């Protein structure tokens, strides 16, 4: 085999007049009535190779086609002035071929490898070909570089990278477990970890002080575009540390990554309480790239003159201002009205058209004599009802309106911490409270007594990192005493017996000197996608699954043989 002397990014002016050997794929071919031009591609670059009809090697070029793997020996030469290609890194030069070796043939590829065309299903089925596209190569190389710098940073802060098992006992992160049947212990199952949560806490109890891992997690959930059944986290845990220590480490990391790879200084990353985020932005992951805060009118003197919008006791009356109402057709406003109604809310809108108030609730404001101070063209959307539903609804209006008004500067990046989440949330299906983060999270201990009659008001020492309206990661200060941990289990309806069966080993560990500790985990796929401005995680994972959890390339999941099932002690279903 003609073995390469240069990678394709190395073919440049400095090699003019020299003989080189290159290896790569035929990216495309052009036959200009005699002379044949090939573009050869490898991971590093693209180079033009010229086949002159006068040379013996020309004989072989007609056998070639796209995606053949070739070795070419030739002389580097400067391109004629008019043929220089400034869009190509090697565009100043080309290689005049002297020898050609076909290293592998290729059938006509079922998808394009040099442009993003064709349906996504076909591209996922032939993922190894799709991965030849320069955009995907770029994304995965970018991901590698981010992972590298992440490790360097964590190492520099004395974190130890320690692996934790994949065949585990269930860890509660709120999703379903993927189960793996045991052959040696028939009828028993491992769970794939939803996160290394319990193990990293045990590592703190073991005295490792600072742990991290770039680790795969598995959650059997209904998938959306931004979810994958197996995904990667940057997971970390610290001993003798509280929230401020974790935030400092994570701030340092994301600031460094954004500065190095995106050239953006994230500045001071603000901290906002969950309740402030909900009140001002109607979301626990507010996108701060634009303002449009919700206004609370509940305590205004005119609130009780708002006719059907008048808030009754305990309710909220809130609004959001939209600067350019002309983009909001009646159809859009009707759809807002409908979704408000379906949430059990009362809804109305008012706008200033050439100095006059119009809209579904204009009359109400007029008769109450309220000066809304709306400028010409400005609109106010108002709703009343249960406070949490009002916030959520106006939060979604805020996002939708920003999209319609093009308010989001896609090149800007806004990060923030949302802290003090509720400790519990109500699970309507199971009619019980469940931990909003996970049950190992430290509650505000004073809230436990204060709100004992209403656990939904208890706050947790937990925190989320949000970037551009995406939840990038979550963490919390942990409970480190058995007594408190048992109390929390009890509050979420886990009986002593169940706690012992599921977490007995963990509770026992607390009895042997557990240091105070806190931690965090960042969605690594999500971080990479956000940094690259991509909306689909599939674009940053080499071999992703579809939204139905399938790997189209290998047709997984798939049936297994009867023998395998028998060995595992699992009866197969007869699916005639």
CB of 441 to ligand ASP, least distance (A): 7
Kindly provide the b/e burial profile for residues 242-266, where b requires at least 16 CB atoms within 10 angstroms of the residue's own CB.
ebebbbebbbebbbebbeeeeeeeb
Residue 380, interface with ligand ASP (CB under 6 A)?
no
Please count the CA atoms within 13 angstroms of the CA of 104 that sit on its side-chain side: 8
> Which residue in the set 475, 525, 531, 537 belongs to the binding site for ligand ASP (CB under 6 A)?
475
532 burial level (CB within 10 Å; 0-12, 13-18, 19+) = middle
**Range list of H helices, 110-183:** 120-125, 127-130, 134-156
Size of the site for ligand ASP (CB under 6 A): 9
Piece of the chain touching ligand ASP by CB under 6 A; list 285-293, 303-311, 452-460, 471-479 = 471-479
| Residue of 139, 150, 195, 389 interacting with ligand ASP (CB under 6 A) | 195
Q: Does 239 bind ligand ASP (CB under 6 A)?
A: no
Residue (395 or 523) nearer to ligand ASP, CB: 523
CB 27 within 8 A of CB 46: yes
As a whole number of angstroms, the distance between CA 364 and CA 386 comes to: 21
Q: CA-based angle 360:363:366, to the nearest 5?
A: 135
Query: Which is nearest to 384 in space by CA: 333, 311, 321, 334?
Result: 311
Mark residues 484-523: x for contact with ligand ASP by CB under 6 A, - for none: -----------------------------------xxx--
Q: Is 168 in the site for ligand ASP (CB under 6 A)?
A: no
Which residues, 6+ apart, have CB-to-CB distance to 63 below 8 Å?
102
According to the binding rule CB under 6 A, does residue 234 interact with ligand ASP? no
Taking the least distance from each CB to ligand ASP, the nearer of 401 and 472 is 472
Q: For ligand ASP, give the closer residue by CB, 352 or 476.
A: 476
| Cβ–Cβ < 8 Å for 247, 417 | yes
CB of 293 to ligand ASP, least distance (A): 28
User: Which CB sits closer to ligand ASP, 143 or 200?
Assistant: 200
Q: Which residues contact 459 (CB under 8 A, 6 or more apart)?
A: 274, 420, 421, 422, 423, 443, 444, 447
> According to the binding rule CB under 6 A, does residue 164 interact with ligand ASP?
no
Q: In what order do the strands lie in the sheet with 356-358?
A: 295-296, 315-322, 379-386, 346-353, 356-358
463 binds ligand ASP (CB under 6 A): no
Identify the H or E element spanning 253: helix 243-257
Q: Does the bond joining 557 to the residue before it have cis omega, within 30 degrees of 0? A: yes
Q: Which is nearer to ligand ASP, 42 or 173 (by Cβ)?
A: 173
Nearer to ligand ASP, 173 or 287 (CB): 173
Q: Is 315 in the site for ligand ASP (CB under 6 A)?
A: no
Other C-beta atoms lying within 10 Å of the C-beta of residue 391: 24
Q: How far is the CB of 180 from ligand ASP (least distance, A)?
A: 20
- Told to check if 243 binds ligand ASP by CB under 6 A, we report no
- Residue closer to ligand ASP by CB (options 257, 460) is 460
Q: With CB under 6 A as the contact rule, which of the stretches 54-62, 105-113, 426-434, 469-477 interacts with ligand ASP?
A: 469-477
Q: Which is nearer to ligand ASP, 51 or 520 (CB)?
A: 520
Q: Pattern 171-190, binding to ligand ASP, x per CB under 6 A?
A: --x-----------------
The CA distance from 264 to 261, in Å, is 8
- 443 touches ligand ASP by CB under 6 A: no
Rounded CA separation 190/558 (Å): 20
| Per-residue binder mask for ligand ASP (CB under 6 A), 337-376, x = binder | ----------------------------------------
The binding site for ligand ASP (CB under 6 A) comprises: 173, 195, 197, 474-476, 519-521
């Amino acid at each position: 085999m003609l073995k390469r002397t240069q990678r394709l990014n190395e073919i440049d002016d400095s090699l003019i007049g020299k003989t080189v050997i290159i290896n790569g794929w035929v990216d495309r071919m052009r036959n200009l009535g005699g002379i044949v031009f090939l573009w050869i591609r490898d991971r590093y670059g693209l180079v033009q190779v010229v086949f002159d009809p006068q040379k013996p090697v020309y004989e072989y070029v007609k056998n070639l086609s796209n995606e053949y793997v070739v070795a070419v020996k030739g002389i580097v030469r400067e391109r004629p002035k008019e043929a220089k290609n400034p869009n190509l890194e090697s565009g100043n030069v080309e290689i005049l071929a002297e020898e050609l070796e076909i290293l592998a043939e290729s059938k006509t590829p079922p998808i394009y490898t040099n442009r993003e065309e064709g349906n996504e299903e076909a591209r996922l089925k032939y993922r190894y070909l799709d991965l030849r596209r320069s955009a995907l190569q770029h994304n995965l190389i970018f991901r590698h570089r981010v992972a590298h710098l992440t490790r360097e940073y964590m190492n520099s802060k004395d974190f130890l990278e320690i692996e934790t098992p994949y065949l585990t006992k269930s860890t509660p992160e709120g999703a379903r477990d993927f189960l793996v049947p045991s052959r040696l212990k028939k009828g028993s199952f491992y769970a794939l970890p939803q996160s290394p949560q319990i193990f990293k806490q045990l590592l703190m109890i073991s005295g490792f002080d600072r742990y991290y891992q770039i680790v795969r997690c598995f959650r059997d959930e209904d998938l959306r575009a931004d979810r994958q059944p197996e995904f990667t986290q940057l997971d970390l845990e610290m001993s003798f540390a509280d929230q401020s220590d974790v935030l400092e480490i994570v701030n340092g990391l994301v600031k460094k990554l954004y500065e190095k790879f995106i050239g953006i200084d994230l500045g001071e990353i603000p901290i906002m309480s969950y309740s402030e985020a909900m009140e001002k932005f109607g979301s626990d992951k507010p996108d701060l790239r634009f303002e449009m805060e919700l206004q609370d009118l509940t305590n205004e003197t005119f609130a009780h003159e708002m006719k059907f919008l008048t808030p009754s006791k305990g309710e909220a009356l809130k609004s959001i201002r939209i600067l350019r109402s002309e983009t909001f057709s009646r159809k859009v406003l009707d759809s807002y009205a409908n979704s408000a109604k379906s949430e059990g809310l009362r809804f109305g809108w008012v706008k200033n058209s050439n100095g006059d108030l119009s809209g579904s609730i204009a009359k109400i404001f007029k008769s109450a004599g309220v000066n809304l101070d709306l400028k010409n063209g400005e609109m106010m959307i108002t709703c009343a009802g249960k406070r949490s539903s009002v916030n959520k609804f106006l939060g979604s209006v805020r996002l939708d309106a920003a999209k319609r008004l093009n308010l989001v500067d896609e090149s800007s990046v806004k990060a923030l911490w949302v802290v003090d989440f509720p400790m519990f949330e109500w699970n309507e299906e199971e009619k019980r409270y469940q931990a909003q983060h996970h049950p190992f999270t430290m509650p505000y201990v004073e809230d436990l007594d204060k709100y004992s009659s209403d656990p939904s008001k208890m706050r947790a020492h937990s925190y989320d990192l949000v970037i551009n309206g995406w939840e990038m990661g979550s963490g919390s200060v942990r409970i480190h005493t058995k007594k408190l941990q048992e109390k929390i289990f009890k509050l979420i309806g886990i009986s002593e017996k169940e706690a012992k069966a599921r977490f007995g080993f963990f509770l026992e560990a607390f009895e042997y000197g557990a240091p105070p500790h806190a931690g965090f985990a960042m969605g690594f796929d999500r971080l990479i996608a956000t940094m690259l401005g991509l909306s689909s995680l599939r674009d940053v994972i080499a071999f992703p699954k579809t939204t139905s959890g399938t790997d189209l390339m290998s047709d997984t999941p798939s049936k297994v043989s009867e023998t395998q099932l028998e060995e595992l002690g699992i009866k197969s279903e007869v699916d005639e």
